[in-house]
């Protein structure tokens, strides 16, 4: 059978469908027993005056090393586009930030914002040397008034959108944290000092206005090391000039999908949206307003209800686009949302943000790269049966190349911003608690080093999670020391248990942080088991989606990659552009009962591959039964309940293979339901 003509199929989708889910906004906060303790231990900077303490503090960059599949993934990234973008892509190689004449705004700082944490979590000497040379060049070029980069210092010149300065400072403090180079800290402080008069002359506008809160990250970083009160005044000034997201989310406009070929707006821009959940958390640290604590949950519930996808993301191609699984989600939004969740986890300590972080990181993030991480998409789709240059696309405001895999499909922002996803995840897996303890806030194989009450401690996690249910943590203390170990128990992990040393398994409550208080001495093993029961969720138009643990499962398709744009500038291999088409049928409905998911699904462990997120490297696969549908149009389009006449059509039931969403390049994830 030939795959159905995609244009007719998409047109079908554009008509006659309910755009809003009937489901109520789910409650977001599960109780957690984390105290907001007032103190900080010696492993953290001195307590600042005037800033509320976060529930957890990220460890200094470089304290956490990836292991197992995560290390392989990060090495793929370092050997792919991230490690080499500056060698051939003019907007970084010839950036005005480094004295060149190419783009002089966000692109070079974006790249460094991901390349710096990648270099230091991997402890990669070559990459560390490379990023350090660029950082030193930016610092060296700073002007006496504190302005740097291409930002003009003369007030009479055309206003420069200060977003790039907020971003550059956020990027630079990571380098200071990893290296302790005081010149970088002084450069950021001088830049922030210049920012006050600058925003007094020309208040924030454009991207800077919508992303004001990113500036609070370097402001707080410098404040915790200098206690300069003017820094918090500057933070309040940025907040006063910036977009008021709670007010924006009290209005109805954000709930409606942007029409196909609709109007681009700042308010519904998907990357702004993905960055914004952290605004309230940072604002809460300034003056502890209860509304700021409540807002992120409310914002995520609205996004889930009106634009949510099974990957934990929301659509935006590139403005918010509703729940239809063939709308796109921009890669910048994926990595920015992950960073927002890492900030929310740190400030509020709510495990729900850890669940969401893993869901995005293990599904939406890897799916949107080629397995070698040389090519990426601008927009990914949850139901993505082919990735081609398509002038008849159904995006809201993006262009025809948005979902091919390539160097800079549609626009180059993701080319420069995609790098932060994996390395910042690795850097935020473990955090310290206010009472000198350690919290495992998200799980992937890794090793964390910190000091508790002066005693060096290592926590090493061996696991193939999220492809497996068992996680083995070895805590090693140089000498006896008592501190709490907090373990996030995912909300889906009913029946979770923990076994310490030679003890018996202890039950843990799903959706909480489990606290282990003991004296640690030498190596102690802590074995976690998170039972992963299959789930079948009802999605857009009652379509079925298969989930197990933090992973979403999609139909595995045979695929054909075709090189395109070979003559375009900078597309020399390995950084070329590609279309991907299916060479196996994809138009199936599934025979599954949402009330009894395990009855229709079997799961089989596979070795986690050298490329963990590739079709052949998938560490787990599922079998389900389904039936090919003669025509999607007859089946009421994507994801509709199949009419009774077709549910039992003449097509035979077939055994189908599903693999994790993050391992696919093309896929069907939301399926119509068929019956025996
Ligand atoms: Zn982008």
- CA distance to 207, 274, 333, per residue, from 269 (Å): 11, 9, 9
Q: What is the pLDDT of residues 318-376, one digit of tens each?
A: 999 999 999 999 999 999 999 999 999 999 999 999 999 999 999 999 999 999 999 99
In angstroms, what is the span from residue 214 Cα to ligand 1's centroid? 17
417 CA → ligand 1 middle, Å: 7
Measure 230 CA to ligand 1 centroid, in angstroms. Answer: 34
546 has which bridge partners? 536, 553
The CA 61 to ligand 1 mean position distance, Å, reads 25
CA–centroid distance, residue 366 to ligand 1 (Å): 15
Mean pLDDT across the stretch 100-108?
Answer: 94
Residue 401 CA to ligand 1 centre (angstroms):
13
Tell me, in angstroms, the distance from the centre of ligand 1 to residue 449's CA: 34
- Residue 324 CA to ligand 1 center (angstroms) comes to 20
Spatial separation of the C-alpha atoms in residues 382 and 661, rounded to whole Å: 8
SS3 per-residue string spanning 322-353: CCCCCCCEEHHHHHHHHHHHHHHHHHHCCHHH
Give kind and range of the element (H or E) at residue 380. strand 379-380
Report pLDDT for 643.
53
Q: How far is the CA of 334 from the centre of ligand 1 (A)?
A: 9
At residue 650 the predicted structure's pLDDT band, cuts being 50, 70 and 90, is confident
pLDDT at 508: 98
Give the global pTM: 0.92
Instruction: Band the pLDDT of 45: cuts 50, 70, 90.
Output: very low
Distance 25 CA to ligand 1 centre (A): 28
Q: What is the mean pLDDT of residues 22-36?
A: 28
- Scan for tokens 């896929």, then name that residue: 667
Instruction: Give me the mean pLDDT over the 189-206 stretch.
Output: 96
Which residues are found with C-beta within 5 Å of the ion, ligand 1? 332, 413-414
- Lowest-confidence region among 216-220, 498-502, 520-524, 541-545: 541-545
d(CA 361, ligand 1 centre) in Å: 17
CB atoms within 10 A of CB 69: 23
* DSSP-derived secondary structure for 67-109: -HHHHHHHHHHHHTHHHHHHHH-HHHHT-GGGT-SS--SSHHH
Q: How far is the CA of 602 from the centre of ligand 1 (A)?
A: 37
Tokens 């040397």 appear where? Answer: 129
Q: What is the percent of the chain with per-residue pLDDT over 90, rounded to a whole number?
A: 85
What is the separation of C-alpha 7 from the centre of its chain, rounded to a whole number of angstroms? 30
Q: 240 CA distance to ligand 1 centroid (A)? A: 27
Query: What is the DSSP secondary-structure string of 588-631?
Result: EEE---GGGGGGG-EEEE-PPPSSTTSTTT-SEEEEEEEEE-S-
Whether 240 has a pLDDT exceeding 70, the answer reads: yes
Q: Is the pLDDT reported for residue 207 higher than 50?
A: yes
Distance 665 CA to ligand 1 centre (A): 18
**CB hemisphere CA count around 369 (13 angstroms):** 30
Q: Find the mean pLDDT for residues 456-469.
A: 98
Ligand 1 mean position to 411 CA, how many Å? 7
Closest Cα partner for 379 from 368, 393, 363, 394? 368
Q: How many residues can be counted in the chain?
A: 676
pLDDT, greater one: 181 or 648: 181
Rounded CA-CA distance 604/612 in Å is 16
Q: 569-615, pLDDT tens digit by residue?
A: 999 999 999 999 999 999 899 999 999 988 999 999 999 999 999 99
Provide the pLDDT confidence category of residue 158 given band limits of 50, 70 and 90.
Answer: confident
For the cut 50, the answer to whether the pLDDT of residue 16 exceeds it is: no
Give, as one character, the DSSP assignment of residue 255: G
pLDDT digits (tens, 9 = 90+) for 56-88: 999 999 999 999 999 999 999 999 999 999 999
Q: How far apart are CA 437 and CA 459, in angstroms?
A: 11
Distance CA 342, CA 313 (A): 15
Task: Write the Ramachandran bin of 267: left for phi over 0, alpha for psi from -120 to 50, otherwise beta.
Answer: alpha
Taking the centre of ligand 1 as the mean of its atom positions, its distance from the CA of residue 343, in whole angstroms, is 20
- The pLDDT score that the predictor gives to residue 646 is 55
pLDDT band at residue 629 under the 50/70/90 scheme:
confident
Mean pLDDT of the chain: 90
Backbone φ and ψ of 597, nearest 5°:
-60, -40
Distance 412 CA to ligand 1 centre (A): 7
CA distance 96 to 75: 29
| 306 within 8 A of 256, measured Cβ to Cβ | yes
Rounded to the nearest whole angstrom, what is the distance from the C-alpha of residue 425 to the centroid of ligand 1? 19
| pLDDT > 80? residue 640 | no
| pLDDT tens digits along 253-311 | 999 999 999 999 999 999 999 999 999 999 999 999 999 999 999 999 999 999 999 99
For the cut 50, the answer to whether the pLDDT of residue 478 exceeds it is yes
Q: Which of 589, 604, 610, 611 is nearest to 659 (CA)?
A: 604
* Helix-then-strand count for the chain, H and E: 21, 21
Residue 477 — pLDDT band, cuts 50, 70, 90?
Answer: very high
Please say whether the beta carbons of 327 and 394 come within 8 A: yes
């Amino acid at each position: 059978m030939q795959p159905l003509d995609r244009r007719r199929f998409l047109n079908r989708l554009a008509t006659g469908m309910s755009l809003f889910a009937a489901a109520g906004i789910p409650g977001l906060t599960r109780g957690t027993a984390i105290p907001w303790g007032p103190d900080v231990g010696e492993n953290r900077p001195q307590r600042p005056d005037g800033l509320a303490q976060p529930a957890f503090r990220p460890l200094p960059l470089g304290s956490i090393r990836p292991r197992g599949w995560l290390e392989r993934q990060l090495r793929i990234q370092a050997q792919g586009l991230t490690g080499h973008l500056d060698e051939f892509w003019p907007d970084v190689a010839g950036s005005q930030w480094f004295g060149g004449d190419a783009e002089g705004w966000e692109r070079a700082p974006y790249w460094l914002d991901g390349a710096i944490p990648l270099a230091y979590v991997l402890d990669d000497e070559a990459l560390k040397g490379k990023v350090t040379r660029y950082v030193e060049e930016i610092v060296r070029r700073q002007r006496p008034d504190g302005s740097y980069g291409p930002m003009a210092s003369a007030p009479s010149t055309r206003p420069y959108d200060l977003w790039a300065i907020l971003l550059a400072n956020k990027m630079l403090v990571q380098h200071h944290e990893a290296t302790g180079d005081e010149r970088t800290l002084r450069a950021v402080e001088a830049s922030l000092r210049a920012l006050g008069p600058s925003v007094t002359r020309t208040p924030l506008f454009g991207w800077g206005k919508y992303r004001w809160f990113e500036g609070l990250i370097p402001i707080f970083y410098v404040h915790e090391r200098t206690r300069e009160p003017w820094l918090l005044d500057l933070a309040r000034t940025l907040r006063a000039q910036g977009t008021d997201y709670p007010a924006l989310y009290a209005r109805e406009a954000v709930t409606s999908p942007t029409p196909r070929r609709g109007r681009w707006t700042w308010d519904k821009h998907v990357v702004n949206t993905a960055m914004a959940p952290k605004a309230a958390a940072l604002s809460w640290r300034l003056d502890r307003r209860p509304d700021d604590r409540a807002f992120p949950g409310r914002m995520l519930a609205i996004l889930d209800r009106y634009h949510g996808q099974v990957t934990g993301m929301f659509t935006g191609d590139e403005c918010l686009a509703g729940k239809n699984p063939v709308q796109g989600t921009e890669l910048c939004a994926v990595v920015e949302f992950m960073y927002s969740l890492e900030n929310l986890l740190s400030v509020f300590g709510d495990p729900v943000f850890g669940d969401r972080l893993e869901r995005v990181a293990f599904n939406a993030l890897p799916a949107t790269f080629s397995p070698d991480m040389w090519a990426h998409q601008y927009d990914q789709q949850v139901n993505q049966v082919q990735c081609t240059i398509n002038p008849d696309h159904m995006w809201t405001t993006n262009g025809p190349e948005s979902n091919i895999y390539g160097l800079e499909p549609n626009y180059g922002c993701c080319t420069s911003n995609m790098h932060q996803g994996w390395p910042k995840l690795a850097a935020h897996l473990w955090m310290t608690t206010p009472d000198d303890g350690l919290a495992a806030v998200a799980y992937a194989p890794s090793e964390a080093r910190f000091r508790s009450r002066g005693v060096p401690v290592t926590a090493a996690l061996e696991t193939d999670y999220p492809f497996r249910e068992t996680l083995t943590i070895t805590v090693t203390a140089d000498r006896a020391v008592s501190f709490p170990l907090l373990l996030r128990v995912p909300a889906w992990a009913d029946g979770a248990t923990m076994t310490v040393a030679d003890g018996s398994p202890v039950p843990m409550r799903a959706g909480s942080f489990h606290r282990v208080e003991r004296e640690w001495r030498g190596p102690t093993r802590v074995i976690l088991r998170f039972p992963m029961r299959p789930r079948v969720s009802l999605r857009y138009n009652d379509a079925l989606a298969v989930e197990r643990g933090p992973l979403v499962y999609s139909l595995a398709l045979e695929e054909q990659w075709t090189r395109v744009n070979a003559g375009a500038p900078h597309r020399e291999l390995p950084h070329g552009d590609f279309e991907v088409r299916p060479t196996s049928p994809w138009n199936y409905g599934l025979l599954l009962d949402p009330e009894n998911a395990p009855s229709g699904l079997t799961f089989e462990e596979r070795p986690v591959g050298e490329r963990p997120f590739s079709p052949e490297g998938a560490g787990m696969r599922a079998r389900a039964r389904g039936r090919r549908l003669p025509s999607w149009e007859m089946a009421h389009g994507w994801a509709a309940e199949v009419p009774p006449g077709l549910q039992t059509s003449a097509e035979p039931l077939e055994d189908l293979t599903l693999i994790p969403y993050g391992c696919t390049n093309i896929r069907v994830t939301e399926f119509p339901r068929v019956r025996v």
